[in-house]
Amino acid sequence: MTQSSIKPIALLLATRNQHKTYEIQKMLGEMAHVTDVTTFPVLPEIEETGLTFEANAILKAEGISLHVPGWVIADDSGLEVDALGGEPGIYSARYAGPGRSDLENTLLVLKKMDGIPKVQRRARFRCALALAREGKTVALFDGTVEGSLIAELEGERGFGYDPIFIPQGYSETFGQLSEEIKNRISHRACALEQFKEWWKEQENNK
Ligand code: IMP
């Protein structure tokens, strides 16, 4: 059977962040058809009360999959900065306060990092993915990309903290690097590679 004759997996992503949906669809390609909860406006908002990325991914995947049939996948992700004791971490989306923009969150990180020398600007993005069906988690995946923070915004690509994060081995931020590179090396890409392997294994064991 050719790749294109295989029926794509229908995956509902438990997010309203369309940047995540876009990246995940790009990374999975023909393997999956990815939609997100913006197409289901009546679904409940899941509160991210967990204390880890994994716990929040599980809350979102299970919470949404109770209400819709089929596969639900949730991505909980964020930036950890060593010099800030791991902040913003699980609070990445609301670091500057509820409802604040990506830019406001990023500027707050830059402000807190003001004056911190280059060698102490290590950071990483982390991503936890939970795959659920009918309210139960079926599998968990995770990914990390190490890097460092620069002192000002560079680049317009991507989203969130991308314009201040330089992945290890590169000299440009995720905001400057091509979509193709980010989607190959990012925390989300690493977690999705695990998902792809897992899915293949399930298919082979059928
Ligand atoms: P979540 O929706 O609670 O998982 O929050 C994720 C937040 O982490 C986003 O709003 C961004 O601020 C940040 N984040 C996660 N992944 C990325 C990424 O790939 N690039 C830049 N920022 C990211």
pTM for this one? 0.95
**Ligand 1 pocket, residue 17 CB under 6 Å:** yes
Report pLDDT for 115. 96
Res 41: pLDDT? 75
Which residue type, as a one-letter code, is found at position 23? E
Atom of ligand 1 nearest to the CA of 106: 12
> What structural domains and CATH numbers belong to the chain?
3-204 (3.90.950.10)
Protein residue closest via CA to atom 22 of ligand 1: 160
Summarize pLDDT for 43-81 with one digit per residue, the tens. 999 999 999 999 999 999 999 999 999 999 999 999 999
Distance CA 83, CA 75 (A): 25
User: Quick one: pLDDT at residue 55?
Assistant: 98
Probe ligand 1: pick from 100, 109, 161, max atoms within 8 Å of CB? Answer: 161
Specify whether 102 is catalytic. no
Which residue's CA is the closest to the ligand 1 atom numbered 13? 78
Q: How many angstroms separate the alpha carbon of residue 1 from the centre of ligand 1?
A: 37
Q: What is the mean pLDDT of residues 35-39?
A: 94
Q: Model confidence over 132-168: pLDDT tens digits?
A: 999 999 999 999 999 999 999 999 999 999 999 999 9
Residue 102 CB less than 6 A away from ligand 1: yes
Q: How far away, in angstroms, is 193 Cα from ligand 1 center?
A: 18
Ligand 1, atom nearest to 105 Cα: 12
Q: What are phi and psi of 71, to 5 degrees?
A: -80, 130
